[in-house]
Amino acid sequence: MTQRNTSPTIQNGQNRSSKKTSTTLPDVQTLSALTTEPFVDTHTHLHYTLERLPNTFGVETFQILKERYCPPNLEACINVLCDPLSFSSDEVFPGTYMDWKVMAETPFMYLSAGVHPHNAKDYNDYIEAQMCKILQHPKTVALGEIGLDYHYDNSPRDMQRQVFIRQIEQAKKLQKPLVIHTREAEEDTWDILTKHVPKDWKIHVHCFTDSPDFAKKLLDYFPNLYIGITGVVTYGSAKNTQEIVRSVVPLNRILLETDAPYMTPAKLNRNKRTNERVTVSHSGMIPFVAQKIAEITQKEIDVIMRAARDNTRSMYGI
């Protein structure tokens, strides 16, 4: 997840901003044209997608978003809760799309829960207990995203490290796979993972943008570690991510993710002749991520899609 304003803009799931916006979304035919292979978005924040979409789209539930705007081969998504407010959302926003219980009841949606490094300063016993309540739900498949972010430093680094380790211990206690956020913190991330995580643990390093050398180091050490690739791979500036796809990560260790509502694939806004832009992403845009990986690796898109689907089963059991 990228940096966001964690103050919610809804009350009872209805009063989203009605400001005029240039936001548009690709039609289902565009998304369906690339591949018919079934897929899972392994890391998304669809509650923020609904929060950001203007009211004119009429998308008030996750099911409406899926039916109207996602291709039919979207099988499932893993919706990631990483803001401490989300852990009490069934009390703060009961019955709305921000309520984690509503998410868990959505047929195509699974959950992951963990405190993001941006929010490490807010971590305490109460937050941990609320998080663990969600982690014990049968549809919660992982703990995360957790880790270190030295780019923004929204929480002190020593606090980030302490909270990272504390949550790893909870994951081990609850036997949950880990979803890792690491940005510009390679040395400390490596030290903590290798000291505190069993070598055979299932790990998803989400939205990998660090160095190819670090990716190789992680892949070589942890046999059940997967690298998550988002729409960032479609950006001209994403040289590290593209090189990792080209020459570091094998197909059997790649996961596809959108990190929605962030990381909109670049192609969706290329050569636009109007002021409208796709400014909000969603799980149905995964085929554009796979298309770029296919281009870089000189493989068919369906090969990428099938490998990623198999890897999702291995990582998450879904």
* CATH classification of the domain holding 43: 3.20.20.140
176 within some domain? yes
Encoded tokens for 297: 């690796």
Whether residue 259 is annotated as binding a ligand: the answer is yes
In a domain, 94, yes or no: yes
Q: From the DSSP assignment, how many helices (H) and strands (E) are in the chain?
A: 12, 8
pLDDT in tens, 22-76: 789 999 999 999 999 999 999 999 999 999 999 999 999 999 999 999 999 999 9
> How confident is the model at residue 275, as a pLDDT?
82
Confirm whether residue 213 is marked as ligand binding. Answer: no
Strands 109-113 and 74-81 come out as: parallel
Domains of the chain: total:
1
154 belongs to a structural domain:
yes
pLDDT computed for residue 272 by the predictor: 67
Other Cβ atoms closer than 10 A to 20: 8
- For the segment 189-224, what is each residue's pLDDT rounded down to a tens digit? 999 999 999 999 999 999 999 999 999 999 999 999
Residue 2 maps to a domain: no
In a domain, 36, yes or no: yes
Is the predicted pLDDT of residue 20 greater than 90, yes or no?
no
Closest CA to 60 of 120, 106, 124: 106
Q: What is the chain's mean pLDDT, rounded?
A: 93
- Tens of pLDDT along 220-253? 999 999 999 999 999 999 999 999 999 999 999 9
204 belongs to an annotated ligand binding site = no
pLDDT higher than threshold 50 for residue 7 = no
Asked whether residue 157 is assigned to any structural domain, the reply reads yes
Position 10 scores a pLDDT of 41
Q: Taking Cα atoms as reference points, which of 151, 263, 147, 141 lies closest to residue 202?
A: 141
Tell me how far the alpha carbon of residue 271 is from its chain's centroid.
27
Is 7 a member of any domain?
no
Q: Mean of the pLDDT values across residues 140-158?
A: 97
Backbone angle region of 206, left / alpha / beta, with phi > 0 → left and psi within -120 to 50 → alpha: beta
Query: Among 164-168, 272-276, 312-316, which is the least confidently predicted range?
Result: 272-276
195, burial (CB in 10 Å: exposed 0-12, middle 13-18, buried 19+): exposed
Judge whether 206 is annotated as a binding position: yes
Structure tokens at 194: 């290798």
Predicted confidence at residue 110, as pLDDT, reads 98
Domain hosting residue 277, numbered range? 28-316
Q: Report phi then psi at 12, rounded to 5.
A: 55, 30
Q: What pLDDT digit, counting tens, does each position of 105-125 carry?
A: 999 999 999 999 999 999 999
On whether residue 148 sits in a domain, the answer given is: yes
